[in-house]
Structure 1
Amino acid sequence: MSDGLDILIFGAHPDDAEIGMGGTIVKHTSAGYRVGICDLTYAEMSSNGTVETRQQEAAAASFVLGLAMRSNLGLPDRGLWIEPKNIAAITSEIRKHKPRIVFAPYWEDRHPDHIACSKLVQEAVFNAKLRKYDPGTEAHTVEQCYFYFINDVAEADLVVDITSNHEQKMQALQCYRTQFEKGTSDNDYVPTPLNQEYLERVEAKDRMLGQKRTVGYAEGFVSKLPYLIQLF
């Protein structure tokens, strides 16, 4: 995998990035931008599916999204503690791919791993620019860090019109059959919030946000820094 991503998105589990910003990803890859996803865990604690099936689903979704790369740090699911080794792993990924922009989950969410991922990425973005932090690798300054919504939604600072990309977003999400499809007679199937019409709720959320700017579908983001634009 080559260096030099335009955008690097972090998620605690495979499917987090697709839920929160799948349309925005497609919008950028379709325009020729190099976009990558780094999943922190293999979601080995998920009630349905296996690590192997989840990886197959992530690969299929990555193809739909047109990603330049996808990696997995193999950190422990439900063990994303804010500790130096976890921060170091994410920092290394940032320095390796040198993204201009980094995305992470919003820091408030019903899933503790999403909250932890948000905090870890913020720590890593800061460390990545420090020349004396792990001096064996080249420091890298991320231009901007944005936060996407997975389950809980706050007021967005920035919205992206994904009307023309929404169908591909849903196609990417539908790749995760073990997570979003209802089971039948399989004794291993466990009802969860994800397989109780979750995708319909994602679509409704995107449509509701789009209504605020009179577009079909939109995804929202938050920034801790002011949003900078260059006026013509």
Structure 2
Amino acid sequence: MEHKGIDILAFGAHADDVEIGMAGSLAKWSAMGKKIVICDLTEAELSSNGTVETRKKEAKKAAELLGVAERVNLYLSDRGLLLKDEHIRKIANIIRIYKPTLIFAPYHNDRHPDHGNCFRLVEEAFFSAGIRKYEVEGNYPPHKPLNLYQYMINGFASPHFVVDITNFIDKKVKALNAYQSQFFIHEGGVQTPLTEGYIENVTARDRLFGKEVGVTFAEGFLSSKPLLLNNNVFGEDL
């Protein structure tokens, strides 16, 4: 599985994490011709609603709606995303395989421990993937992505930058609606924070971020290092 290099590699602990935080941006960048891969670390086998098989189908549908080139899973244990060397090496291997320009992972401060742990694992792998003598299973050459950004799931923080998704909010909502087992109660299901108007809460957050910069909807991100601006200081798109 050799790749010349993709534009964006987005990690999530569970399928739907990436969509909650940045589905609008992914749809926008995909429409611009950017090549995007999503990597889910687990199968979300401990989710209160739905099954692993159902979640796989939902994740596939959501990725197709967003124009994502590929979606992969590392099959790590749900609620087992601990800072282990074997986990870091698996993630570093994925980074070396796909050679992304940019990497995205969940905001480190989230009510669900798996989301913060996902970021910490990706942060470690982000650094290790660029070390020449760091060995991974696939024996791929080292790769240093340009930057690591954080998207928000449950957490709310002042973003370092936002992306205007006004023209793609409908695609984001459609991608979230693909996860029928998670955001809606069906027969035999149970009530969770996700079934209590969660999609509406997410779009309300995007509307708030948009208002801050004079657009209707925007997604907020945090950067692990300062962003370099040239002409962008005058208001051009990043």
Q: What's the TM-score, normalizing by structure 1? A: 0.96
Alignment-derived partner of residue 219 in structure 2:
219
The structure 2 residue matched to 1:140, chosen from 136, 143, 155, is 143
Once residues 88 and 147 of structure 1 are traced to their aligned partners in structure 2, the CA distance between those partners, rounded to angstroms, is 20
Alignment-derived partner of residue 86 in structure 1:
87
State the percentage of identical aligned residues. 48
Q: Tell me, what secondary structure is at the counterpart of 2:76?
A: coil
Following superposition of structure 1 onto structure 2, how do residues 1-232 of structure 1 map, counting pairs within 5 Å? 3=3, 4-134=5-135, 136-183=139-186, 186=187, 188-231=188-231
* Native 8 Å contact 1:182 1:196 kept in 2: no
Once residues 205 and 22 of structure 2 are traced to their aligned partners in structure 1, the CA distance between those partners, rounded to angstroms, is 12
Deviation of the 1:71 alpha carbon:
0.2
CA-to-aligned-CA distance 1:140-175 (integer Å, 9 cap, x gap): 001011000000111100000000011001000000
Q: What's the TM-score, normalizing by structure 2? A: 0.94
Deviation of the 1:2 alpha carbon:
5.4
Q: Which amino acid aligns with 2:52?
A: V
Unpaired runs of 5+ in structure 1?
A: none
Q: Which amino acid aligns with 2:18?
A: A
Matched residues, number: 229
Q: Which amino acid aligns with 1:66?
A: G
* Native 8 Å contact 1:163 1:218 kept in 2: yes
Once residues 135 and 194 of structure 2 are traced to their aligned partners in structure 1, the CA distance between those partners, rounded to angstroms, is 39
Unpaired runs of 5+ in structure 2?
A: 233-238
Deviation of the 1:214 alpha carbon:
1.2
Q: Tell me, what secondary structure is at the counterpart of 1:73?
A: strand
CA RMSD across the alignment? 1.1
* Native 8 Å contact 2:12 2:105 kept in 1: yes
